[in-house]
Amino acid sequence: MQHMLCSDLEGVFVPEIWINVAEKTGIEELRLTTRDISDYNVLMDKRLSILDAHGLTLNDIQAVIAEIEPLPGALEFLDAIRAEHQIIIVSDTFLEFAGPLMEKLKRPTLFCNCLKVADTGRITGYELRQENGKKKTTRALQDLNYRVIAFGDSYNDISMLQTADNAFLFRPPENVVQEFPQIAVAYEYDQLAALIQEAISSCHS
């Protein structure tokens, strides 16, 4: 059986987009992420209402994203993975946000969502590629006879991690570690690489 790696984006390869927006705008409420609120729809509805209240448009968000760089060591880790394995980044972010980040990561395969944007640039809503896309991506790959090795950092990754054949948390907050003690944790890229290699080796043994 062949293996496929599935990874989250924010918190694994790049900083959290919304935290960067919060820091640039001074709007503390935008610091909330799926590390804090497990229901993604609740979180996104809250974010969009905050953007409306402050008159922020897609252009404002994209200006912040253009300045975001990959996390230290992330590109080297991703390059090392791609040299030997296949990987898909499965994210709850949006195509309209991800472009500059994917360029800096040398264009990995990305599964994500789309925004609904008015002519004025106001973000009016969002469209999920599919409900529970991370779990369904994992299941679909398994149906294609791949063994899935998944890693992520937050609540919105848990369904993917619980469905995968091997799963790891990478730099998760302590509340996620406490709630899901059965999932192995790595805090550095070399630790994560070792866990992935061990999972692959056990698959072929």
Q: Using one digit for the tens of pLDDT, what is the confidence trace for 44-99?
A: 999 999 999 999 999 999 999 999 999 999 999 999 999 999 999 999 999 999 99
The domain total for the chain is: 1
- Whether the CB-CB separation of 31 and 47 falls below 8 Å is answered with no
Answer whether residue 205 shows pLDDT above 60: no
Choice among 10, 96, 157, 165 that is catalytic = 10
Expressed as residue numbers, the domain containing 9 is 2-13+72-113+129-204
41, part of any domain? no
**Residue 8 known to be catalytic:** yes
Query: Is residue 120 in a domain?
Result: no
Inside any domain, residue 59: no
Q: Where are the beta strands (DSSP E) in 42-199?
A: 87-94, 109-117, 123-127, 146-152, 166-170, 184-186
Token pair, residue 39, equals: 């229901």
Structure letter (DSSP) for residue 9: S
Residue 36 lies in a domain: no
Angle at 112 between CA 177 and CA 53, to 5 degrees: 85
- 10 catalytic per annotation: yes
Question: For residue range 28-45, what is the model confidence (pLDDT) as tens digits?
Answer: 989 888 777 778 888 899
39: in domain: no
Number of residues written out for the chain:
205
Both structure tokens of 54: 């402050």
Task: Note whether residue 51 is domain-resident.
Answer: no
Q: What percent of the chain has pLDDT over 90?
A: 84
Indicate which CATH number applies to the domain containing 157: 3.40.50.1000
Domain for residue 24, yes or no? no
* Binding-site positions for substrate: 16, 47, 91-92, 134, 156
Residue 90 domain-assigned? yes
DSSP 85: S
**pLDDT value of residue 38:** 75
The overall average pLDDT reported for the chain is 93
pLDDT band of 204, cuts 50, 70, 90: low
- Sheet containing strand 2-7, strands side by side: 123-127, 109-117, 87-94, 2-7, 146-152, 166-170, 184-186
